[in-house]
Chains A and B, each alone.
Chain A
C-alpha cells in the first residue's frame, strides 16, 4: 500500500495478557518509529529503528515492552503482562531520511489497545 499500515486497528484484551501490534511501513523507508498516544495527550516516543536495529529505545516505559524489526521492514511491538495503564493508541511512523533535516514522519492510523 501507499501508506503506513497498522494491524489490528482495535485490540481489546484482559489484564495480564500478551499483545502484538504490527506495523508495515512505506516501502523503502529505512527509519521506523513507535509512539503511544493516551487520551488527551500528544504522541509519546517509544522506540526508533534504523534498518533492523533499534537506534533509540529510551522511550519504552519498562521491560514489558519490546519491539523488533527483523528484516528492516515490518515491525512488531510486543507488550507482555498488559496493564490497564497500557490502554492507548499505538502509532507507527516511517521516514525515508536517515537525517533529520525535515523531520517529517508518515504516520499510520494507529492500533487502539484497550486493556480491561
Chain B
C-alpha cells in the first residue's frame, strides 16, 4: 500500500526553466509534508516543508504547493540549475504517529541540463 506516490521516476529540464515535481498521497491523516533531495552516495537532505493549514510555502527558488482536496502536492524550482540535479523525495507525516516518522514516495530523478 503506497501511501505516498511520485508517479514520475524522472524529469529532465533545461537550465533556467522551471522544474515541477509532483506527489500524491492517499492517507487523509497526513498533515505535514516535506521534500528531501538526495545526491548519489549521500543521505537525503531536507529541502522544504508545508503544514496542511497552508497551501503554499516558498523558500528562495523552491516553492511547495499543497492541494488537500486533491491530496496532491508539488515542488517548483525556478530557475532550475545544474546543481539541482538529484533525486527528490516527497514525504508525509500524520499527527497521530509518534515523533517525526515519515512516509516517503519513490523519488523522482531530476536532471537539469546546462
Closest to A45 in B: B101
Majority SS of interface residues in chain B?
A: loop
Whether B42 contacts A105 by the Cβ 8 Å rule is no
Residue B106 interfacial (CB < 8 Å): yes
Q: With a CB–CB cut-off of 8 A, which chain A residues contact B43? A: 4, 91, 93, 107-110
Count residues of B near A (Cβ-Cβ below 8 Å).
28
Neighbour of B102 across the interface among A40, A41, A45, CB < 8 A: A45
Whether B105 contacts A50 by the Cβ 8 Å rule is no
Q: A33-B101, A56-B98 are in contact. Are A104 and B106 (CB under 8 A)?
A: no
A interface residue count range (under 10 / 10 to 19 / 20 to 34 / 35 or more) = 20 to 34
Residue A84 interfacial (CB < 8 Å): no
A91 to B46, CA, bound (A): 14
Q: B residues engaging A (CB < 8 A)?
A: 4, 6, 9, 32, 34, 36, 41-46, 49, 89, 91, 93, 95, 97-107
A45 to B89, CA, bound (A): 14
Whether B89 contacts A42 by the Cβ 8 Å rule is yes
Stretch at the interface among A13-21, A66-74, A94-102: A94-102
Q: Can you list 30 A-B pairs with a CB-CB distance of less than 8 A?
A: A4-B43, A33-B100, A33-B101, A40-B9, A42-B104, A43-B44, A43-B102, A44-B104, A45-B101, A45-B102, A45-B103, A48-B99, A50-B99, A55-B99, A56-B99, A91-B43, A91-B44, A93-B43, A95-B99, A97-B100, A100-B95, A100-B99, A103-B91, A104-B34, A105-B46, A105-B100, A107-B43, A107-B44, A109-B41, A109-B42
